[in-house]
Chain A
Amino acid sequence: MYKALYRQYRPRTFSDLVGQKVIAQTLENALKENKVGHAYLFAGPRGTGKTSVAKIFAREIEGIPSDSDQDTFTDIIEIDAASNNGVDEIRNLRDAANYAPIEYPFKIYIIDEVHMLSTGAFNALLKTIEEPPAQVKFILATTEPQKIPATILSRVQRFDFRRISVEDIVARLQYVLDDQKIAYDPEALTVIANASDGGLRDALSILDQAVAVSTTGRIELSDAFEITGSSRIDDQLGFLGHLLNKQTDQAFEDLHRLLLDGKDPVRFAEDLLVLLKNLMLVKIAPELVKETDSQKIQAFSAGYHNAVFQQVIDLVADSLAKMKQTTRPELYLEILAVKIVSQQSELQPKQDAIADQVPVDSAADAAEPSEQAADNTPVAQQLDNAHGNSSSEADEDSQPAQPVDQPRTVEQQIPTKKVLTSSTPVSTDSAAAWHVMAEAVKEELRAVQDAWPDIQADFDPAVLMLAENAEPVAASRTALIFAFNHPELADAAAETADFVGKLAESLSDLLGVDYQLVFISDTAWMTLKKNYIAKLHGADIDPPMPVPELKKNEADSQAALSQSPQLQPDIPEKSSEAVPEEAGDNADVVEKAEKLFGNIVKVKGEK
């Protein structure tokens, strides 16, 4: 009869034991010194040797030689508390404990999964455990020590078993395979050991299956993957790489290939999650990533900022929860892929979207294409410089070319030039607004305000909400500030090409001016106005600092992605709130701002 590997190779002596050296040593000493206690508790995760140690220890107490072929002994009584958890069973045990052992010097009760006992059963056991008859010993084993009542815990000698290290498990698997004369690929063993999560029994069970599955008579890496259901790191990295580079078609090809191979979509998503975690972890502690392909992980990780991984993790975790509830998890895996790709494009520069969506034939664009182009050319160079040398002037000058905040953190893949093709200039930061206010003209504003209801009425229902929540608040001859009554709306509006396009068109139609648009929030506007007035009254206030992210250089651009979209609207407010303090020393401002906002404040270069 075939016996599972984990039963064949259950250790018979303390020296056979894998891991738990200190515990083994202590128990051996207790035997040697003849100081065996009357009750023990072995706690620890499954497959770490609790039952094995209990059996070895019991045999040693009884003085049974380790080479004895017998499996069961009359005086070593193994009880599975999971199925004998009632008071009655424990009462029977208690009564039986009073009888003398039959063959051996002691009666030893091994109670496995002892946490499954009912409260009544525990109480019935209490007295016996505290003072058992001299010839009786108890060994309790459990995976969940926290469920054991304190009254029991204080009466037993407790040993906590630790997970077995990957190296120890691999060594044991090698020993078993050598003993069985089966050839193997060492990497396959690492995969198995990783999948077993520190439990040797699990590892041996997986090995057992791998042996059965193997067609070549040798344990190959592919066998290990097939049994553990996990996928190759290469596959995972390939898929993730395609997603992050927005190569959707290739990502889908990867996905379908995996599904055709019979991989479980849920398992694949879980693997992805682990991979993403490792990608983050490898940056600070490569030694903690015990996968077979840690170099590949490290190389991949170097290409991205942790914030990217973190965002993908959120998406994967979301999808994973849904996948577990549906009958078609593969569908959600595909949705996940699309989501990751689209979030990538959302995070990355928006200029494609705006450039594509704003109708090129709109009156606004047609009116002065040459002027824009002329304006933009020098800015292109300055913008390029701005990434390196961080000067606020560069920012202010580049306003006409700045569609929204995000594009300033330009991805490497996307040529910087693209920014300039955007034809509807919208800014959302206070620096731009300040600029407009400096040249504000009352009549212009009045004209716009008069026309505003008409313009509003003209909007599509789809974007009408944005228009209803906006109010023109200041205007110069060439630029116009809109205040939105919620910070997030200002950004949302700037990102909605339909809204921006229509607004530009209407303004151009009704007033004949192609305004440069600035969208800010109400609150930002109020502070700005206050500061501006203060300045007019002679206070020494500098214009708000441009949005910090500008100063990042190319290599760092990924870091900006860590600013989740929701955070963005806050930034103009923050920088404008910092303004009043700037009257004093600059360093002082930084200190104060840090006091107020903690580490969110980032100082990026001097002005």
Chain B
Amino acid sequence: MTPNDFSAQLKKQGILPAVLLFSGQEDFLAQQSLKKVEQSIETNFRAWDFVRSDMRDQSVPVVLQDVSTMSFSGERRFVIMDQPVFLSSKGSLEKQDEKNFLNYLQNPESENTLIVNTVGIDIDKRKKIVKALLKSGEQVNFEPLPEREVFKIVKRHLSLAHVLMADDVINYYLRRLAFDLRLVMTNLDKLILFGVSGKAIGQEEIDQLVTAELNESAFDLVTEINRRHLDKALQLYVNLIDRGEAPIRINALLQSQYRLLIQAKALSINDTQLAQKLKIHPYRAKLANQAVSVQTMPQLSNAYLDLAKIDFRLKSTTLDPTMLFEMFLSNNV
């Protein structure tokens, strides 16, 4: 079942299965679905008919007992198992608990629904209990949305709030957050609040309001260096340091970026091939090829070696990292 199917079924509650297994990686969507479940219940009975248990500090028998209890309102009750680590290879259940759980799965209470929320957890499919869950329960898979979808969602939210933001700016925004839906949505609130005054949102505002994901920042950094916008590069670096990123880490990321550029230069193939060969995002491949076109191999390898030197200095001296970076700029531009 897809998350959309699940929403549709939720509306006609009668046909909801007794056991549901939420799987996948996109936690944000799963939480949204759970919220929908909660809202589908009448307000007066919500506290009783919608129960979430964190399995890290709740035992299985208690939850099973809970899910076997009928609702007062005669409606469907929902019991959610959050963080069931015992389904992954890292945890396990006691014999008796496991037996109880298996028994319940064979004969679940059809009036209620048990949701086992394994989103973000790597379930161990060799486990008996997992096999039983997969067999008797309906699986709802929450996979990260395709980038196109994320774009559409953002666009819809913006137009609902009557906020102006150009398509390329939206893309810039999404890339900064690496298309992470949760980050995209929480930061969107801020952007919308800024934009309600009627001013169009540009890259400048996004830079100010949205904290970019570290890897993206490193890429930005290299891009700015290549464009010779030194003040911007330096600004980015200082911002990263202010955010508490370790200079060694930033340096390592820069190195990996230059490594990518060297690879791109050496291969000199088109964007799509490069993306496939190096298993990177097509957009990055495009940027890499762009950057590489104006640089010579010696320039790139020089920068790479310089970064190695800085790495050594970061680890062996007390020199100010920002100063080292400025020296790097002065040597490589």
Contact = CB atoms under 8 A, between A and B. Distances in A.
B242 A274 contact: no
A159 interface: yes
Interface stretch (A27-35, A402-410, A465-473): A27-35
A463 interface: no
A505 B204 CA distance: 74
A284 B230 contact: yes
A288 B196 contact: no
A151 B235 CA distance: 29
Contacts of A163: 238, 242
B317 A321 contact: yes
Contact of A22 (B208, B245, B297): B208
A442 interface: no
Contacts of B331: 306
B200 interface: no
Interface in B224-243: 230-231, 234, 238-239, 242-243
B329 A285 contact: yes
Contacts of B193: 26-27, 29-30, 33, 35
A367 B298 CA distance: 50
Instruction: Give the size range of B's interface with the partner.
Output: 35 or more
B308 interface: no
Interface in B205-236: 205, 208-209, 211, 230-231, 234
A60 to B, nearest CB: 14
Contact of A284 (B242, B297, B329): B329
A274 B211 CA distance: 29
Interface in A287-321: 287-288, 306, 310, 313, 317-318, 320-321
B205 A280 contact: no
A283 interface: yes
User: For chain B, what secondary structure do more than half of its interface residues adopt (helix, strand, loop), or is it mixed?
Assistant: helix
Contacts of B189: 37, 157
User: For chain A, what secondary structure do more than half of its interface residues adopt (helix, strand, loop), or is it mixed?
Assistant: helix
Nearest to A27: B193
Contact of A280 (B190, B197, B297, B326): B326
B132 to A, nearest CB: 31
Given A29-B193, A285-B230, A146 B327 contact: no
A281 B208 contact: no
A599 B327 contact: no
A147 B244 contact: yes
A446 B194 CA distance: 89
A65 interface: no
A460 B69 CA distance: 99
A598 B317 CA distance: 27
Contacts of A582: none
Interface string B296-331: 011101100100000000000111100100110111
A313 B331 CA distance: 14
A599 B182 contact: no
A218 interface: no
Interface string A126-163: 00000000000000000011110000001001111011
B244 A22 contact: no
B45 to A, nearest CB: 19
Contacts of B298: 594, 598-599
B274 to A, nearest CB: 21
Interface in A376-421: none
Nearest to A277: B323
A599 B197 CA distance: 54
Contact of B330 (A22, A43, A306): A306
A287 B301 CA distance: 27
B319 A23 contact: no
Contacts of A274: 323
B208 A310 contact: no
Interface in A3-54: 21-23, 25-27, 29-30, 32-33, 35, 37, 43-45
A91 to B, nearest CB: 17
A144 B244 CA distance: 6
B182 A154 contact: yes
B278 interface: no
Given A154-B186, A280-B326, A284-B333, A29 B243 contact: no
Contacts of B245: 146
Given A284-B329, A284-B333, A26 B209 contact: yes
A566 to B, nearest CB: 14
Contacts of A273: 319-320, 323
Given A23-B208, A147-B244, A281 B330 contact: yes
A273 B322 CA distance: 12
B327 A277 contact: yes
B186 A157 contact: yes
B318 A159 contact: no
A320 B318 contact: yes
A158 B301 CA distance: 38
Interface string B69-94: 00000000000000000000000000
A288 B301 contact: no
B208 A146 contact: no
Contacts of B297: 594, 598-599
B194 A26 contact: yes
Contact of B230 (A43, A144, A288): A288
Contacts of A35: 193
A163 B244 CA distance: 14
Contacts of A44: 242
B47 to A, nearest CB: 13
Contacts of B317: 317-318, 321
A29 B194 contact: yes
A146 B329 contact: no
A115 to B, nearest CB: 9
A341 B247 CA distance: 32
A509 B128 CA distance: 94
Contacts of A21: 208
A598 B208 CA distance: 40
A160 B243 contact: yes
Given A154-B186, A284-B330, A29 B196 contact: yes
A439 to B, nearest CB: 38
B231 A288 contact: yes
A43 B243 contact: yes
A25 B230 contact: no
Contacts of B186: 154, 157
A33 B242 contact: no
Nearest to B205: A22
Nearest to B301: A598
Contacts of B209: 22-23, 26, 159
A223 to B, nearest CB: 27
Contact of B208 (A154, A162, A283): A162
A599 B301 contact: yes
Nearest to B211: A160
B242 A287 contact: no
Contacts of B238: 163
Contacts of A157: 186, 189-190
B282 to A, nearest CB: 29
Given A145-B243, A317-B317, 10 more contacts: A22-B208, A25-B194, A158-B211, A160-B242, A277-B326, A281-B330, A284-B329, A288-B230, A321-B318, A594-B297
13 contacts: A22-B205, A25-B194, A25-B197, A30-B193, A33-B193, A157-B186, A158-B211, A159-B209, A162-B208, A273-B323, A283-B330, A287-B231, A594-B297
Interface of B: 182, 186, 189-190, 193-194, 196-197, 204-205, 208-209, 211, 230-231, 234, 238-239, 242-245, 297-299, 301-302, 305, 317-320, 323, 326-327, 329-331, 333
